[in-house]
Chains A and B, each alone.
Chain A
Amino acid sequence: MNELVAGIVNLQLGNFVMFGIALILIYLAIAKDYEPMLLLPIGFGALLANIPLSSAIGHEGFLTILYNAGIRTELFPVLIFVAVGAMIDFKPLMQNPFMLFFGAAAQFGIFACLFVAVLMGYDLKEAASIGIIGAADGPTSIYVANKFAERLLAPISVAAYSYMSLVPIIQPPVIRALTSKRERMIRMTYHQTDIPKIVEIAFPIVITLVAGILAPISVALVGSLMFGNLIRACGVLERLSNAAQNELANLVTLMLGITIGSTMLAQDFLRADTLIIMAMGLVAFIFDTAGGVLFAKLLNLFLKNKINPMVGAAGISAFPMSARVIQRMAKEEDPENFILMQSTSANVAGQLGSIVAGGLLLALVPAFL
């Protein structure tokens, strides 16, 4: 008889709070369209994990098995990188490689947030994991957090994915605060150039070799992304490219989400840490945006052809949301201004930049311990 009511008897306040959080995530995914591919599975995973005596977690629970097989081994994020690599078109970046500077500048939030986290008393590994939310890139955040601070993985992933979908809300006020109307109205002429096929093919190979030899620890991150990209760029593996972009991406995302959700256990998640991490993630995104914009303004002091500083903000990795936000803002100021191509280039550079930053953290942090 006891077994029949065990679920009810073991319900505690924490469970109800977690149910509430899970339902909010599911609501945001469905009603607000905030990264539904991730927030819905995360929300439902959290429901499954927080039911008392849930058979979904624990030694033989399928979510725990998925966690051990896919997250602890870093397999899911790496597979996502293959899929993302097949989705990225590096041509806009090759047409405008100058935008790589913004892909670097807009990683500022990662390091700024890392520093703030250390000031708040986190150790270096945890601080790096919190800072990596500023990569604005889900799999990179999961990859780094899992290596450095497994106990913070759930809030870090939730923060990374939710702020990514909030880019259209977070970025505009920061950009407006840092630029004048005149700067936002700067027009940039776009020169269309043809990228030879051979460059498209050589790019992923060369980048992997150079990045890999310089920082062997980044091979898994950069290499899997570039593998996916080579499949896309080579032009003879259309089926594999489609499979990576659709089936692989969808399946792994599905399992990744619900598995991350299953780590949101009341006793781990309902802590001050979680709130602090959510707040710091926001700080990281704001510093990313500010870093990109201010760096563009700095470059403008020296450049003859001025850059619209809003393009700098597109150097974060949230693709293509950020590039679109920038174009929309440019159009608000001047309906005849089009900087979509430039901001797309910066946005692609950001995808590269965030992975490089992740790789660098993996290499640097252990050196200081």
Chain B
Amino acid sequence: MKYVVEINQKKFEVEVERGQATIVEKTPAIAVETPAPLPAAGQQPASAPAHAQGQKLLAPMPGVIIKVKQPTGTRVSKGQPLLVLEAMKMENEVVSSCEGVITYIVAKGAQVAAGDILAVIA
């Protein structure tokens, strides 16, 4: 299966290789290769910090992130819209589940599976 992943306004075509027919991982392993990344100031790395501190906001369903409303470092309150997840061709606003500062937020254009980390709020 091919995914188009957008990172820092750059589009990458990503081939997802499935293993056996019995897939153990629930999240398809998306290998994102970033050729010569240009880490601009204020922009976060693309990889999800699985071990990051703070409250993790998980994807409720599979879909594509079509809008990121708050960049990292922003202080957000509970219920504040963080990003828009498009699933089943419907745009769904994902809100913060707690108060805090965003230490990680998924990139716009990313394809997520249910249970993937969308944001970490510390």
Direct contact of A and B (CB under 8 A): yes
Which residues of A line the B interface, CB within 8 A?
Answer: 92, 190-194, 196, 320, 323-324, 327, 331, 335-336, 338, 340-341, 344
B45 within 8 A of A: no
A320 in contact with B114 given A196-B21, A336-B97, A338-B61 (CB within 8 Å)? no
Given the interface contacts A192-B113, A194-B23, A341-B88, does A336 sit within 8 Å of B95 by beta carbon? yes
Q: For residue B88, which residues in chain A have a CB less than 8 angstroms away from its CB?
A: 92, 320, 323, 340-341, 344
How many residues of chain B are within 8 Å of chain A by beta carbon?
18
A190 — which chain B residues lie within 8 A by C-beta? 60-61, 114
Question: What 0/1 readout, one digit per residue, does chain B (60-104) give for beta carbons within 8 Å of chain A?
Answer: 111000000000000000010000000111101101010000000
Q: Which residues of B are at the interface with A, using a C-beta cutoff of 8 A? A: 21, 23, 26, 60-62, 79, 87-90, 92-93, 95, 97, 113-115
* Closest chain B residue, CB of each to CB of A338: B60
Query: For A194, what are the chain B residues with a Cβ–Cβ distance below 8 Å?
Result: 23
CB of B23 within 8 A of CB of A324, answer no
Query: Which A residues lie within 8 Å of B23 (CB)?
Result: 194
Q: A190-B60, A340-B61 are in contact. List 17 more A-B contacts (CB 8 A).
A: A191-B26, A191-B114, A192-B62, A192-B115, A193-B26, A196-B21, A320-B90, A324-B90, A331-B92, A331-B93, A335-B95, A338-B60, A340-B88, A340-B90, A340-B92, A341-B61, A344-B88
Contact present for B114 and A192 (CB under 8 Å): yes
How long is the Cα–Cα vector from A341 to B89 in the complex, in angstroms?
11
Bound Cα distance A191, B26 (Å) = 9
20 pairs, A vs B, C-beta closer than 8 Å: A190-B60, A190-B114, A191-B26, A192-B113, A192-B115, A320-B89, A320-B90, A324-B90, A331-B92, A331-B93, A335-B79, A335-B93, A335-B95, A338-B60, A338-B92, A340-B87, A340-B90, A340-B92, A341-B61, A344-B88
